[in-house]
Amino acid sequence: MILHLRAAVEQLYAVPPARFTPLRSELVAQAKSAGEKALASSIGALRKPTVAAWAVNHFVREHRDELDELRSFAALLREAQRTLDADQLRLLGRERARRVDAVGDRIAEVAADEGQRLGAGVSQEVRETLTALIADEEAEASVLTGALVKALSYSGFGSVDLADVVALEGVDGEPEDDAAARPSLSVVPGGGGDPVDLEERRRSRRTAERARLQTALDAARAELRAADRQVAVLTARQEEVTEGIADLERRLATARARLEKVTGELDEAVGIRDRRERQEAAARDALDAHGDAD
């Protein structure tokens, strides 16, 4: 019997896609029969995962240890982004696609073993989810819940959009303690009443303003760090492209030198041929003239 929403999530997001909806109906019916109307409503609201999300969830649940190497690689790449290590970023950036493809292929293989073949579009969504895992620690944590409802995506800049990607967050199956969320009330000593109250209000306003300014500063710093990381990544990419152009220019210069050499040899060969043609014509004329004299 399901008594908590988290237990329902654990069951629902562990089954194949075709089993999700029937099982959800069963769990809703169980909750209703137990008189748990709110729980039944919450279970009924749980969304069926996409095929890509299910494939990643299944792999996380059954083969989590196989993600360790990818997670270690992700930590290295994030550290390189934080320290703006361009050389390391360039090396790891080239390695990222290979690692994502390898794990993506493994996920497709495991899904196929469960009778669920992944098409090209779904496989791409799986790879985008793995790329997001590498890019963002919160995205990694979301993937590791094993309860994704849709694939993740990463644009290459900023953080990953994690809105509504996980079936359940921050719920432990117990009713929320409303009292803990309410501010505590206390009597201000001093007997003066208004003067003390006004001063308290001033302090509260100053505290609130400082908190607002600190939040704005933290946000600005976060955006600056994100911009710095993007500059570092793009700088590394620019260097890679520049190296490629330089290599092509060297090859083009070599090809032009060879062309110039071959052209010179061709001109010389044509000149020799022309001289030989003239000599052959002169010899032929001389032979014809000798025959006429006879």
23 located within any domain: no
154 located within any domain: no
pLDDT digits over 125-183, tens only? 999 999 999 989 999 999 999 999 999 988 776 678 888 899 876 443 333 333 333 23
**Of 104, 122, 144, which marks where a domain is finished?**
144
- Other residues' Cβ atoms within 10 Å of the Cβ of residue 19: 12
7/23 Cα distance (integer angstroms): 13
153 located within any domain: no
Kindly report the backbone phi and psi dihedral angles of residue 104, in degrees, each rounded to the nearest multiple of 5, phi listed first.
-60, -40
**Of 102, 120, 144, which marks where a domain is finished?**
144
Which residue, chain included where needed, has tokens 């060969």?
Answer: 269
72 located within any domain: yes
- pTM for the model stands at 0.56
**Residue (of 145, 138, 119, 140) closest to 129 by Cα position:** 140
**Of 120, 144, 168, which marks where a domain is finished?**
144
H or E element, residue 121: helix 120-135
285/283 Cα distance (integer angstroms): 5
Q: Count up the domains in the chain and report the number.
A: 2
32 located within any domain: no
Q: What domain range includes position 84?
A: 49-144
Number of residues in the chain:
294
Residues 137 and 219 in one domain: no
pLDDT digits over 35-74, tens only? 899 999 999 999 999 999 999 999 999 999 999 999 999 9
Amino acid at 154: Y
